Chain A
Amino acid sequence: MKKEPHSSTPLLELDRLAVTFYTPQGTVHAVRETSLKIQRGEVLGLVGESGCGKSTIAWAIMGYFQSLVRMEGTIRFKGKPFTKMLPSELRGLRGRRIAMVYQDVVSSLNPTMRVGPQLEEVLRENLNMGKQQARHRVIELFENVNLAEPERVGQRYPHELSGGMQQRVVIAMALACDPELLIMDEPTTGLDVTTEATILDLISELRQRVNAGIIWISHNLGIIARIADRIAVMYAGQIVEQAPVKALFRNPSHPYTVGLLNCVPGSTAITEARTKLATIPGTVYDSKQPTTDTCLFEPRCSIAQDSCKSGTPQFFDAGDHHQSRCSYWSDVRPDIWGKNEPVIEAPEQTKAKPLLTVTRLRHFYGREQHRIPFIGPVGLAPVRAVVDANFNVGPKQTVGIVGESGSGKSTVARNVVGLLSRSGGDIHLQGVLLEPRVEKRSRKHRAELGIIFQNPAAALNPKLHVRHAILRSLWKFPKLRGRVARERAAQLLESVGMDASYLGRLPSELSGGQQQRIALAAALAGDPQLIVADEPVSALDVSVQAQVLNLLREEQRNNDISYIFISHDLGVVRYMADEIIVLYAGHIAESGPANSILKPPSHPYTETLLSAIPVPDPEVTPSRIRLDGPVPSLRQIFKGCFFAGRCPRKIGPVCDGVMPPTVANPNSPSHIIYCHIPLEQLSEIQTTSTGL
């Protein structure tokens, strides 16, 4: 799929673009002298951590600036600089010939308008189409982005569509005017991995049909590998490496690129032993600092030399259109950040008495229906968010719970810690029955169960200092106060890689990763036996994600903690968990030891999750098992298999009519699959189709 760059004028060219914002908080150098070219028909991946200026480039092209800003350098579209264009010409260019898709889908759609008319409006405004013509074109566009039943989708309001469908509508809108350049700013970051995979499939299919240049912005190299022809890696507002995708992955020539590659937990082969992720230390170069005459990556670089501090490195040509802004590019090896060391597996603990036992846990939202004689049921049936979940958590063990949004993962988590009161079933901690509501539980029980939430910014009170969260936990659980408490707090902060100086900060002064560390420190204050981590890394950049994951495992070793680790990304769960539970529509589809789950035979749903993991290697052709059809309503009581409606391996009416049997894997007796298909047959299909 690799295309040779054309010799003709590029579609879009950034020539030494620099963008500086003047804000009340100071001058922000968001982009520092960046040059880029993109050809028609090419997908350019723009990668880097948050705060490296990727989105600013997109905004500069689209001209979306609200605050005081200075732009230097030139942007040329088909050779013509933006500065030489009339305002009307620019308006026609932006939105029509250059279209953009944003990360936040919800705010891209008008919530008060049905999506069909919304798209028709775009067509009639921009292309002067008639009413009938626009309506036909919308249906065509919806078909283009693989929306099933395009006529009916058009009649719905944005909130009636799932996240993936909304993103498809937004993409259709961007494609409406047949753009020559499409900018996609982290279009899949807010989505489930399974949905993300289908959007990636869609884009790789579209690019062959649409013949537009695409700029794809992402912080995750795993995603980019699947989609891009060429990759530009950004750091601190500069491009540090630029190369065709295969060359970049085969032979990364900038230490930063290597660091980013190491961070993705999916980079090791599935069956391989779990490894400690090598991470990039430190944080992104502060964008308020002026550009200095050094390599800006030098403070974090593992192979930095003294000469890096004198003189900005220029681009070095590593051959085959491969450029790196590192003076020592030829010394860059995949292991410069340290090897991804194998982790010593904890000894098998199946014999040990379980710490937490969950039996037939149910949680229904809403009241039971009333049945009035001669009229029938009144009101809606309750949402059966979790139905009869059974699992154990052993001491020092990590149990991963994986599933899409709406599968009931968080509901399980909140029932365990007592934020929600369960509708049925029992939860025992060390053999003692736990009260459903946390308010009724004893101090000892509260201290022994900690939780870490997905969004660290929301988990800390934004108006109170970091001190508050930690000291208050120390006061509430071990009853520490005064100097003793402050010393213990400092100790806790050190154990999560920070120091006592952070106690006086406000959460808003910390980065996402730091906030999550504080949340962990506060959870550790009670000296807990079990921490429930509810998507603790989903809101973080991959580089920070790796740091937090390593930290979680380190704390587990040091303090003998068990985790219930929840994520929608099987790649991350695989890295963390000893045992995995796969949840679908409130039902456990498969559970067992991690090693056994990841190998065939798997439940067909697990199989789709596995194939959705982004693999940061362009030469691996990912298996494509995708889910289609809508997510089933959780208000129904399933007669047959809960997954039958979307199962890619459905065998027939037995799936719809009969509850699936509980089948144990003969090779690993604690590995249980709920499926009608005999295991040998599952095993056979999966080995041949996925090549695992």
Chain B
Amino acid sequence: MMARTHHPSNFFNTVLTASIEQVSPALRALSNGLKLALMTNAGRVGLSLIVVHLTLAFVGSWLAPYSATDFHLEHQLEAPSSQFWLGTDQFGRDILSRLMNGAGSIIAISLAGTLLGLALGTSVGLISAYVGGTLDDLIMRVMDGLMSFPTLLLALLVLTMAPPPEEWLPSWLAWNGLNVVLTIAIVFMPWVARVIRSATLPLKVAEFVQNARLRGEGTLYMIFVEILPNVFPVLVVEVSVRLSYAILLASSIGFLGLGIQPPSPDWGLMISEGRMFLVNAPWVALAPAVAISSLVVGVNLFSDGMRQAQKLPRTK
């Protein structure tokens, strides 16, 4: 009887302690990662590139000299000049302004997609490894199946099958980047799950987990309080590696016209539109291409710096 009255509070207690206990190790892992990255040159260069892009993402739309969607029809496909620093596109829109406005969405999409994918993959990996047995076999075979699709093909499959956000979400939530976020998450989940599963397997037999078993801890507590903080270092590396793939994936989806819908500026879409003028007005496609690659290079350098300092093995 005692057990029954205690049960709800016990569960609540577990969830509460779990979330409180997670905060400090997570912050520690994060600040540790930052600190380590700043110890190397790659990390410093990478971080400064990321900071530039983040600034663009947050305040770019205010700083932009023109509106991203305004047509300057008398200035179509103009080369960079003092008036339009990076030139204009076929409708005479200022490319710099479009770049600055588009930074927010690509960073938000790729970051949200990465984090969601990480959350899904981590949960799946932890549960699969800890519970083990048939469930483990089952989950991992499904993950293998997902992994056997080429990345972009799987992404297109998910995008075309998922209903548009307007159909299943209230209008204030129905951001048209949401499907891209979900797609990135689903594409990443199996890779993250695999890495986390292999990091969990040795922890499962560790003596502190045995101690927790002797205390009579439940599965949820074991996974999220005892084991999760110990895979944070792996997660931090995983975030930084996944993020650059997410940016590329998001831009590819944009390029194929399945991402943010026009007239909102999307870097991938801008390249796609600009490629028609590559000979006569190369800046239209080049400017967003440079923007994407500098962001990816920044993220990669940063994660490289972190790995160099941490000497952690490279994950795909």
Contacts and interface: CB of A to CB of B under 8 A. Distances in A.
A417 to B, nearest CB: 6
A418 B214 contact: yes
A535 to B, nearest CB: 12
A477 B208 contact: no
B167 to A, nearest CB: 43
A438 interface: yes
A463 B213 contact: no
Nearest to B229: A463
A127 interface: no
Interface stretch (A39-47, A346-354, A465-473): A465-473
Nearest to B221: A472
Interface string A558-583: 00000000000000000000000000
B74 interface: no
A534 to B, nearest CB: 9
A72 B28 CA distance: 37
A442 to B, nearest CB: 9
A459 B207 contact: yes
B207 A464 contact: no
B25 A446 contact: no
Interface string B8-32: 0000000000000100010010000
A544 interface: no
A455 interface: yes
B213 A460 contact: no
Given A461-B230, A468-B21, A419 B208 contact: no
A463 B230 CA distance: 6
A451 B229 CA distance: 24
The secondary structure that dominates the B interface is helix
Contacts of B214: 417-419, 438, 446, 449-451
Interface in B163-204: none
A24 B226 CA distance: 29
Contacts of B39: 24
B206 to A, nearest CB: 6
Interface string B269-281: 0000000000000
Given A464-B25, A468-B21, A476 B230 contact: no
B215 A458 contact: no
Given A458-B207, A458-B208, A462-B230, A419 B25 contact: no
Q: How large is the interface on B (under 10, 10 to 19, 20 to 34, 35 or more residues)?
A: 20 to 34
A461 B226 contact: yes
Contact of A460 (B208, B216, B229): B208
A356 interface: no
B211 interface: yes
Nearest to A442: B216
B137 interface: no
Contacts of B213: 419, 438-439
Given A438-B214, A443-B216, A463 B25 contact: yes
A463 B225 CA distance: 10
Contacts, number: 59
Contacts of B216: 438-439, 443, 446, 476
A686 to B, nearest CB: 38
B210 interface: yes
B232 interface: yes
B21 A464 contact: yes
Contact of B215 (A24, A419, A460, A476): A476
A450 B216 CA distance: 12
Contacts of A472: 212, 215, 217
Nearest to B26: A463
A451 B211 contact: yes
A450 B210 CA distance: 11
A453 interface: yes
A100 to B, nearest CB: 24
A522 interface: yes
B211 A459 contact: yes
Contact of B210 (A419, A439, A443, A463): A419
Contacts of B210: 419, 451, 453
A455 B215 contact: no
A419 B216 CA distance: 11
Contacts of B25: 463-464
B210 to A, nearest CB: 5
B211 A476 contact: no
Nearest to A465: B24
A449 B211 CA distance: 11
Given A458-B206, A459-B207, A463-B232, A473 B21 contact: no
B103 to A, nearest CB: 35
B254 to A, nearest CB: 39
B218 to A, nearest CB: 10
Nearest to A441: B216
A455 B207 contact: yes
Interface in B106-150: none
Contacts of A446: 214-216
A473 B206 contact: no
B215 A459 contact: no
Interface in B217-271: 217, 225-226, 229-230, 232
A358 B33 CA distance: 50
Contacts of A450: 214
B257 to A, nearest CB: 45
Contacts of B225: 464
Contacts of A455: 207
A469 B21 CA distance: 12
B223 to A, nearest CB: 13
B97 to A, nearest CB: 44
A414 B232 CA distance: 29
A419 B39 CA distance: 43
Contacts of A438: 213-214, 216
Interface string A375-410: 000000000000000000000000000000000000
A468 B230 CA distance: 15
A473 B216 CA distance: 9
B217 A522 contact: no
Interface string A434-458: 0000110001001001110101001
A285 B100 CA distance: 58
Nearest to A451: B214
A434 to B, nearest CB: 13
A463 B25 CA distance: 6
B138 to A, nearest CB: 22
Nearest to B231: A463
A522 B211 contact: yes
A192 B263 CA distance: 74
18 contacts: A417-B214, A438-B214, A439-B216, A443-B216, A446-B216, A450-B214, A451-B214, A453-B207, A453-B210, A458-B206, A459-B207, A459-B208, A463-B229, A463-B230, A464-B21, A464-B226, A464-B229, A472-B217
Given A24-B39, A439-B213, 18 more contacts: A417-B214, A418-B214, A419-B213, A450-B214, A451-B210, A451-B214, A453-B207, A453-B210, A459-B208, A461-B208, A463-B229, A463-B230, A468-B21, A469-B208, A469-B211, A472-B217, A476-B216, A522-B211
Interface of A: 24, 417-419, 438-439, 443, 446, 449-451, 453, 455, 458-464, 468-469, 472-473, 476-477, 522
The 9 A-B pairs at the shortest CB distance, nearest first, are namely A463-B229, A458-B207, A461-B208, A459-B207, A476-B215, A453-B207, A463-B25, A446-B216, A463-B230
